[in-house]
């Protein structure tokens, strides 16, 4: 069937890119760390600790293992087909056009909704910091309507503004994006290390007992609890590392540099996450985080009496979440650029600025859409949609490695995932386990998003596909 027509790897490699190659290994590593370290440490640790207790470190480890195995598969594909598009392009090579469109459509959900959700968390820390500095932002302008029960709000102004500012940076060029991200990542890593050094001495091992109060999977107060459900929650922390592979056409020597950047960023982020969660649940009894859901790190600072650190940590949190938003919006712009270049999206999204060498129209379009989403929509009920979209992408990339090893062993790979076929199979199993930890409402919303995507594919993309015209 023509809906399963595939791209040829050699055709992709021979295509000239209008984008500028400027990224090296540490730029990609910082891009990955920028995407990973942010919301997980500064926001999700509270909710995760209440879901599983001190075993939150184990939940982070499970999520990291899932991403690690998937990351090895991403690294192989990135070395085999170092072009923009990430999982979308890899699926086009392996399974055909309709699967590629589905995964591209899912990635739009991942990046746009993920960036908007993080922007809402960013807003909470920003408003708190401004309050500490004596600057008051009207409550009505600090969140979307219905976000906080009993509090009258209608628009999240800080979230709206930060998304537009980051969109402007990305549209200006990859060098500007790289320098801004690298600078903020270095500062936030410094803040995290300072926090670890200042609080590790206050850990009381009695707070780690019982280590798994809810077991691996159980129901507590009408909702799922335990290590696995918490892993499904904190998996959101790792979302975005796959956007590193979207930078293939802006990377120097991508077949070697991309795998290094992907795997290094995952390793460094995982070590920091596990260290932070062990310290946080060791200093404070996990039940205390119920009072600090929006800023769980403040619970630790309050317990240790180190309130002088709160402003520094708030700045670190703001910068940390800023880089997450930046990398997700960057990844989104490159996915839509790739889909437009293939004819599956209108040409508008693939237009590249000769001055800035970026797909500026698509960048601004989705930046504005994301800003409006962050400003006006209550994202509390939608954030888990990001997880299911990403896990689906991981499954297809992992399965794609199996398929390409079997069907096209002759294609050159600058990096080969070790342990194939077991590595991709383990990645798929972990992803399915985390999907099982999501609630049924998330599945229903995902089906609705999928149905909308299918209408667009059969109504527009299938007819305008460049492969369709070539055939």
Structural domains for the chain: 2-470 (1.20.1740.10)
pLDDT for position 220:
64
pLDDT > 90 in the chain, percent: 4
DSSP state of 15: S
Task: Quote the distance between the C-alpha of residue 136 and its chain's center.
Answer: 31
Q: What is the pLDDT of residue 255?
A: 72
Q: What is the pLDDT of residue 385?
A: 67
With a threshold of 0.75, does the pTM exceed it? yes
Report the candidate in 211, 264, 277, 242 with the shortest Cα–Cα distance to residue 42.
Answer: 277
Looking at residues 267-276, what average pLDDT do you find? 90
Enumerate residues 6+ apart whose C-beta is below 8 A from 114: 236, 239, 240, 324, 328, 386
Q: What is the pLDDT of residue 14?
A: 65
User: What are the pLDDT digits (tens) for 79-108?
Assistant: 787 777 778 888 888 888 888 898 888 888
Across the range 134-151, mean pLDDT stands at: 76
- DSSP character at residue 251: B
pLDDT value at 367 more than 80: yes
Write the DSSP symbol of residue 316.
H
The mean pLDDT of 31-57, rounded to a whole number, is: 80
Evaluate if residue 134 carries a pLDDT over 70.
yes
pLDDT on residue 250: 76
Residue 167: which pLDDT band, with cuts at 50, 70 and 90? very high
220-224, 236-240, 241-245, 332-336 — which is least confidently predicted? 220-224
Per-residue pLDDT, averaged over 134-158, amounts to 78
Tokens coding 304: 């240790």
Q: Is the pLDDT of residue 416 over 80?
A: yes
Q: Do the Cβ atoms of 31 and 184 come closer than 8 Å?
A: no
pLDDT for position 148: 67
CB 360 within 8 A of CB 351: yes
Mean local confidence (pLDDT), 3-16 = 71
Q: Tokens at residue 187, please?
A: 């500062």
Is residue 15 pLDDT above 70, yes or no?
Answer: no
CA distance 19 to 248: 10
Mean pLDDT over all residues of the chain? Answer: 81
Upper half-sphere CA count for residue 69 (Cβ side, 13 Å): 25
Q: Cβ neighbours of residue 421 under 8 Å, at least 6 residues apart? A: 402, 405
On the 0-12 / 13-18 / 19+ scale of CB atoms within 10 A, 229 is buried
Tell me what the mean pLDDT of segment 185-208 comes to.
Answer: 88
308 C-beta neighbours (distance < 10 Å), count: 9
Predicted pLDDT of residue 318: 85
The C-alpha atoms of residue 313 and residue 69 are separated, in whole angstroms, by 32
Nearest to 28 by CA among 214, 319, 228, 240: 240
Is residue 1 scored above 60 in pLDDT?
Answer: no
> Is there a contact between 367 and 163 (Cβ–Cβ < 8 Å)?
yes
**Residue 223, strand partner residues:** 220
> Is the pLDDT confidence value at 132 over 80?
no
- The DSSP element (H or E) to which 193 belongs, if any, is helix 174-199
Helix extents (H) in 347-421: 360-376, 383-407
Alpha carbon 33 to its chain's center? 10
Q: What tens digit of pLDDT does each residue of 274-326 get?
A: 998 999 888 888 888 887 776 788 788 877 877 777 778 888 888 888 888 88
The better pLDDT of the pair 147, 396 is held by 396
Q: What is the pLDDT of residue 17?
A: 63
pLDDT at 101: 92
What pLDDT is recorded for position 469?
A: 67
In Å, what is the CA distance from 461 to each residue of 55, 115, 352, 449, 452? 46, 25, 20, 16, 13
Closest CA to 116 of 160, 167, 181: 160
**pLDDT score recorded for residue 18:** 65
| Token couple for 165 | 């500012």
Within a 10 A sphere around the Cβ of 361, how many other Cβ atoms?
Answer: 21
Average of per-residue pLDDT across 211-238:
77
């Amino acid at each position: 069937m023509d809906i399963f027509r595939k791209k040829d790897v050699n055709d992709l490699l021979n295509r000239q890119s209008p984008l500028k190659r400027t990224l090296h290994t540490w730029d990609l590593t910082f891009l990955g760390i920028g995407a990973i370290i942010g919301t997980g440490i500064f926001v999700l640790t509270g909710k995760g600790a209440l879901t599983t207790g001190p075993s939150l470190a184990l939940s982070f480890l499970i999520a990291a293992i899932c991403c690690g195995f998937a990351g090895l598969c991403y690294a192989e594909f990135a070395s085999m087909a170092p072009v923009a598009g990430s999982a979308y392009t890899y699926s086009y090579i392996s399974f055909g056009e309709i699967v590629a469109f589905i995964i591209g459509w899912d990635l739009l959900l991942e990046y746009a909704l993920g960036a908007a959700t993080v922007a809402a968390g960013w807003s909470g820390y920003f408003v708190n910091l401004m309050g500490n500095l004596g600057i008051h932002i009207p409550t009505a302008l600090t969140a979307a309507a219905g976000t906080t029960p009993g509090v009258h709000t209608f628009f999240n102004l800080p979230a709206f503004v930060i998304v537009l500012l980051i969109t402007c940076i990305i549209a200006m060029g990859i060098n500007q994006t790289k320098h801004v991200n690298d600078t903020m990542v270095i500062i936030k890593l410094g803040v995290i290390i300072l926090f670890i050094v200042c609080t590790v001495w206050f850990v009381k091992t009695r707070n780690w007992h019982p280590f798994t109060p809810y077991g691996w999977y159980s129901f507590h107060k009408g909702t799922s609890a335990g290590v696995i459900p918490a892993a499904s929650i904190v998996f959101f922390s790792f979302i975005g590392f796959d956007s590193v592979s979207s930078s293939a056409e802006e990377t120097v020597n991508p077949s070697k540099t991309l795998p290094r950047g992907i795997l290094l960023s995952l390793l460094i982020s995982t070590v920091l996450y596990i260290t932070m969660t062990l310290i946080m649940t060791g200093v404070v009894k996990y039940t205390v985080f119920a009072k600090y859901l929006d800023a769980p790190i403040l619970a630790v600072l309050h317990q240790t009496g180190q309130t002088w650190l709160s402003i520094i940590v708030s700045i670190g949190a703001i910068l940390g979440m800023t880089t997450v938003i930046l990398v997700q919006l960057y990844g989104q712009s490159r996915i839509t650029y790739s889909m437009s270049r293939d004819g599956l999206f209108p040409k508008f999204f693939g237009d590249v600025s000769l001055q800035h060498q970026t797909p500026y129209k698509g960048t601004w379009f989705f930046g504005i859409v994301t800003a409006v989403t962050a400003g006006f929509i209550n994202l509390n009920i939608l954030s888990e949609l990001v997880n299911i979209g990403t896990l689906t992408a991981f499954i297809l990339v992992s399965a794609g490695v199996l398929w390409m090893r079997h069907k096209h062993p002759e294609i050159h790979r600058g990096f080969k995932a070790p342990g194939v076929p077991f590595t991709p199979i383990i990645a798929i199993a972990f992803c399915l386990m985390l999907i099982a930890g999501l609630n049924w409402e998330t599945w229903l919303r995902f089906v609705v998003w999928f149905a909308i995507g299918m209408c667009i594919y059969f109504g527009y993309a299938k007819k305008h596909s460049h492969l369709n015209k070539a055939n």
